[in-house]
Amino acid sequence: MTATTSLLDRCRQAIATVDDPEYPGVSIVDLGLVESLDVRGATATVGLIPTFSGCPALDMIANDVHRAVSQVDEISTVEVKWLSAPVWSVDRLAEGTQQQLAVDFTVAVQIGTGPVLCPRCGTATSHLSMFGPSRCRSVHRCESCREPVEVMRS
């Protein structure tokens, strides 16, 4: 790390190393879970928002963020908070994340009310059930290649 990188940036970089526990390789920053970062003196305060409030990974993600930011030089105190507002939506996904979820996990993203395209063949999928293995995903089926597709949605 060079001396020109500010403390705030180094904290930001540390948070970006934390992956979603259910999507190894996908950063919580790219999923839009990080709402705020405030550094005062040696204290960093991180504000996170969950994809849905009953998410069981909240403690785990907060602990991972705490651990990552604590390792930043010059930081001695880290506070991680889950905020109740704003509400998470798929619009918060970083550019390229939709593509990464499609390629690495065959997971599609429901943006707006348009058709959800199959991550494998690009055909429009049909909706099958509101919930899949998580409450932030529904299950679709591709009528062309028959792939069961999990769809991340707001």
Under rule CB under 8 A, residue 106 binds another protein: yes
Under rule CB under 8 A, residue 86 binds another protein: no
Under rule CB under 8 A, residue 38 binds another protein: no
Toward another protein, which CB reaches closer, 94 or 131? 131
Q: What is the DSSP string of 44-107?
A: EEEEE--SSTT-TTHHHHHHHHHHHHHTSTT--EEEEEE-S-SPP-GGGSPTTHHHHHHHHH-E
Kindly indicate which of the ranges 10-18, 33-41, 73-81, 141-149 contains the residues binding another protein, using the contact rule CB under 8 A. Answer: 141-149
Contacting residues for 86 by C-beta, under 8 A, at least 6 apart: 35, 49
CB of 131 to another protein, least distance (A): 7
Residue 140 · residue 149 · CB < 8 Å: yes
Q: Which of 86, 112, 114, 133 binds another protein (CB under 8 A)?
A: 133
Residues in contact with another protein by CB under 8 A are: 21-24, 54-57, 59-60, 104-107, 129, 131-135, 137, 139, 141, 145-148, 150
